[in-house]
Amino acid sequence: MLTDICRLRRAFSAGALATMGVWLAACGGGGDSGSPPSAAPVEVQLARQLQASGLEKNPQFSPVITALVNEPAALAQMDQQIVQSTSASYLAGRYTNTFNRLAQRASIARVYVQVSSDLACTAVPFGGGVAANTLMVLDGKMLDLMADVANGLAMRESGRTSLSLLQIVDLAASQQMSFSRFCQAADPLAFPDASLTPGELDRSVELFTQMTGGTFFHEFGHIWNWHSLAKLREQIFVPGGGLFTYTSVIEDNADIISGILNAKSGHAQSSAELAYDLMAFTVIYRRNPGGYSFGNTTSWQTQYQQTSPTYSSLATRKALLSSGFSGWRSH
Ligand SMILES: [Zn+2]
C-alpha cells in the first residue's frame, strides 16, 4: 500500500500534491528501493516555514500582471469588496487584545482583522469569518458565543456549575442568538463576567483565546497561502466554472495551517476542535433558532455529513487540523 502511495507521489509533481493537500510520509529509502530520498510532506514544509517570525504571506507565491489579468489590482479589489460588504458592521477594538495575543504567540507580523457584530447580517453572510488578500473579518456573533461558553467552561472546571458542555453551549446560544440579539454584539449573558472569580476569568480568557485561534488561524491561513490568488486563477481558467471557482482544497489547506499555528501557539487541540464545532453550530442555529441544539452538531450524522462542495465534513476538517498539529509537533 505504501509503495502504491509512493508511486502516486512520484506520478504527481510536488506542486500538484501540495494543492491536493496530500499527506505522504515515509516514501523513499527502506523497502521502497531505488527511489531517492523524498521531499518532506507539504504539511511539514508548511510547518517549517511557519516557524519563522514575522509571518505575513507565503514567499513562494506572488501575483503577476498577465495578458489575462492584472493580479495585484484584482487582489486589491477583492479586499475592497469585503470591506464594502461588511464595514458598516465593524466593532472597533472588540477582541483586539485576543487577536494581539494570538498574533504574538504565532509570530504573525501584521494582522488585519475586523470584527463584524454579526456576519449573517452583512452582504457576505458566511460562517465564522471571511478572508480576502490581506484582511479578514470574523463573525462577532460566533466570538460572543465562544466568550459566553468559555465563561461557562471555566466555572465548570472550578466545580461551580455541574452543567455539561452541551448544556453550557445551548444555554449560551439561547441568549446570544435569540431574536432580540440578532445583528447585535453582546458580552457574556448566560455566564456573565461578573459572576466569575478572578481565577475563573483568567482561565476563561485563555480558553477563549484558544477557541478564537481555531478560526483566526484558519482565516490567516487563507491570507498567508494566497488563497485569493488561487481563487482568482481558478476563475480565469474556468470562467463561470461552478465548483472549480471554489473547491474544498482551499478550505482544507486553511484547516491544516490552523492546526499548525494552534500547535505553534501551544494551544490544546481540543480547543481548536471545539471552535470548529461552535463555528458550524452558530451557522446552523441561526437558521433554526430554538430548534437546534449543540448535541445535533456533535452527533456523528452531522460530523460526517458534507453539506457543501466548498467544505469538507467536520470530521474531515478535524482530521486536517490534527495533521497540522502533528506536522508542527514532529518538526
Ligand atoms: Zn475558510
* Average pLDDT, rounded, for the chain: 86
248 CA to centre of ligand 1 in angstroms: 9
For range 296-310, the mean pLDDT: 92
How far is ligand 1, taken at its centre, from the CA of residue 144, in Å? Answer: 19
Alpha-carbon span 280 to 282, nearest angstrom: 6
- Bigger pLDDT: 245 vs 277: 277
Count of CB atoms within 10 A of residue 148's CB? 27
- H/E/C letters for each residue in the chain? CHHHHHHHHHHCCHHHHHHHCCCCCCCCECCECCCCCCCCCHHHHHHHHCCCCCECCCCCCCCCECCCCEHHHHHHHHHHHHHHHHHHHECCCCCHHHHHHHHHHHCECCCCEEEECCHHHCCCCCCCEEECCCCEEEEHHHHHHHHHHHHHHHHHHCCCCCCCHHHHHHHHHHHHCCHHHCCCCCCCCCCCHHHCCHHHHHHHHHHHHHHHHHHHHHHHHHHHCCHHHHHHHHHHHCCCCHHHHCCHHHHHHHHHHHHHHHHHCCCCHHHHHHHHHHHHHHHHHHHCCCCCCHHHHHCHHHHCCCCCCCCCCHHHHHHHHHHHHHHHHCC
Across 132-146, average pLDDT:
96
- The cell numbers describing 22, all together, are 496530500
pTM of the model: 0.86
CA of 297 to the centre of ligand 1 (A): 19
CA of 250 relative to ligand 1 center, distance in Å: 7
Give distance in angstroms: CA of 53 to centre of ligand 1.
23
Name the pLDDT band for 242 (thresholds 50, 70, 90): low
Distance CA 286, CA 73 (A): 36
Phi, psi (deg, nearest 5) at residue 80: -60, -40
Say yes or no to pLDDT of 34 above 90.
no
Q: Give residue 164 CA to ligand 1 midpoint distance, Å.
A: 29
pLDDT above 70 for 38:
no
Q: Report the range of poorest mean pLDDT among 1-5, 78-82, 102-106.
A: 1-5
Whether 15 shows a pLDDT value over 90: the answer reads no
C-alpha distances out from residue 17 to 20, 95, 148, 268, 285, Å = 5, 37, 41, 28, 36
User: Could you tell me the distance, in angstroms and rounded to a whole number, from the CA of residue 227 to the centre of ligand 1?
Assistant: 9
What average pLDDT does range 275-283 have in this prediction? 96
Give the confidence band of 241 by pLDDT, cuts at 50, 70, 90.
Answer: low
Report every protein residue that has its C-beta within 5 angstroms of ion ligand 1.
251, 254
